[in-house]
Structure 1
């Protein structure tokens, strides 16, 4: 038994052990996916920032959602791409904790931002007369600040609890670090390592319940008015789709991590681990980009303007 936590200086990641024969193919595909993630998210972010007509609560929340996609994936893709070209798959103790913190806080911030977007749509459609007095720029900034700071604080507490545990192993059966797998290496479970994650799960499950409640009211309200129903289909459907993608990705990963069979192929395990960092960051901006008319028109106008300028130069 290891008597001192400082003995563990690196963790080994065994998720890549089964793909030695097609590492280059996976590398190219992963690099392409990461470039697409940057392209689609950065397009939405720049469009919202540059166009003052889009400085409205819904688009500001969307801008933060896209920024969160870049923040979360930055903890995974560069390290994963490096590991694909390396013969040894290890990560430092501090790097492992940081990676776990960023991935977890990104997923938590996703839920908070989606809850804010649901609240924004609820006020806009169900209480339109008080929308502008409730959703002021100052209040929107405060809501966004708390969405981020609470996610950071809760996951910081969880990471600190994990970091203070005495570890009796250094092998992580995955392609990246998460707090739960680090906690599993602890010599003995502490009350804090059980209570804090349980509180975090409950807290963000409450976000999901709030979103569900707000959409029940939205659907009831929109059924009585064709104008409201059109507004619901235009702005709420992409939000519902984004929520479904995030929730399903998170639940699949969480349930597989705890109850997955050891007989499942390594490639499928890797996909299950990656999909929370692959599908939502690509689907969210694409859904909003195609569905929200103002975003789509701004992007198309920019692209058409660029192509016209290039034709004139030639």
Structure 2
């Protein structure tokens, strides 16, 4: 059972709001992915990684929203243990993929700006394909181990203090598993902390190079780097929220806990298409052409 404190009118209000947001997430992210796919001059590693990131946002939202929308219009908020395990697996594997994609995008910008003569040699199509396979495969392996171990762990509680199966799910276990704790720390290190450190270190190197070049070069390079950094900072903040939920859930009110949980998936999938659609000039230009053609037709 998933516990809720919302009255029936509030549940229908939240359903309407979240359904609208979910539709916006699907439409905004899918539109940019479609534009990148259809536009030949956007078939470059940087834009391919952006398309992968936005596709990842759609999957990220879809792991939570459909079940959450059903819960808001249902008298009882119930989820099977196996479905909860699947939601846990999808949520964290996709979350890990996001950090690795941002690290891959930082590496792409580093090679483009700091080693431009080697860019075509390093960032070949085969290299991009290998990176894309790894950023989805590695998190899935990490989280699969946690999911399998959780499936074998005895549960003593059927009421979960949350609105979906994130790390609050561990509160169902009779005892805290040391093996799960270790696996969780390894996943946190490999999928969050190391990619974050790599990304920030890479951009530090990039900005050092930028300050040694002319204003025109700095402006053009910053236009492609700043959106990635904004997305990384935003998602890192949300990841910190998710870790905090497991630590302080017993010390906060239900409303505060509900709001904190909503932060994880409410605006981030809309933040990405907003940032890339407005801040990346090539994508922004193609978006204007796309919507102009729609209006004319």
Q: TM-score range by the shorter chain?
A: over 0.9
User: Are 2:243 and 1:254 equivalent residues in the alignment?
Assistant: yes
Local SS of the residue matching 1:13: coil
| Partners of 1:188 and 1:263 in 2: CA distance | 22
User: Match for residue 20 of structure 1?
Assistant: 8
| Partners of 1:233 and 1:19 in 2: CA distance | 48
User: Are 2:196 and 1:208 equivalent residues in the alignment?
Assistant: yes
User: Match for residue 229 of structure 2?
Assistant: 240
Q: How do 1:213-232 residues align onto structure 2 when only pairs under 5 Å count? A: 213-225=201-213, 226-232=215-221
* Offset, 1:202: 1.0
* Offset, 1:227: 3.1
* Offset, 1:260: 4.1
User: Match for residue 64 of structure 1?
Assistant: 52
Confirm or deny: 8 A CA contact 1:57 1:120 kept in the other structure: yes
User: Are 2:153 and 1:165 equivalent residues in the alignment?
Assistant: yes
Offset from partner CA, 1:118-170 (integer Å, 9 cap, x none): 11111111111101110001100001100100011111111111111111111
Query: How many residue pairs end up in the alignment?
Result: 295
- Structure 1's unaligned 5+ residue stretches are 1-11, 310-314
User: Match for residue 113 of structure 1?
Assistant: 101
CA RMSD of aligned residues (A): 1.4
| Partners of 1:93 and 1:253 in 2: CA distance | 21
Q: Tell me which stretches of 4 or more aligned residues in structure 1 moved more than 4 Å.
A: none
Q: 2:290 aligns with which of 293, 299, 302?
A: 302
| Partners of 2:89 and 2:163 in 1: CA distance | 15
Local SS of the residue matching 1:172: coil
Q: 1:280 aligns with which of 268, 273, 278?
A: 268
Question: TM-score, structure 1 length as denominator?
Answer: 0.90
* Offset, 1:194: 1.4
* Offset, 1:115: 0.5
| Partners of 1:279 and 1:94 in 2: CA distance | 28
Q: 1:137 aligns with which of 120, 125, 129?
A: 125
Local SS of the residue matching 2:76: coil
Confirm or deny: 8 A CA contact 1:125 1:228 kept in the other structure: no
* Offset, 1:261: 5.3
* Offset, 1:228: 3.0
Q: 2:185 aligns with which of 198, 216, 221?
A: 198
Question: TM-score, structure 2 length as denominator?
Answer: 0.95
| Partners of 2:27 and 2:293 in 1: CA distance | 18
* Offset, 1:25: 1.1
- Structure 2's unaligned 5+ residue stretches are none
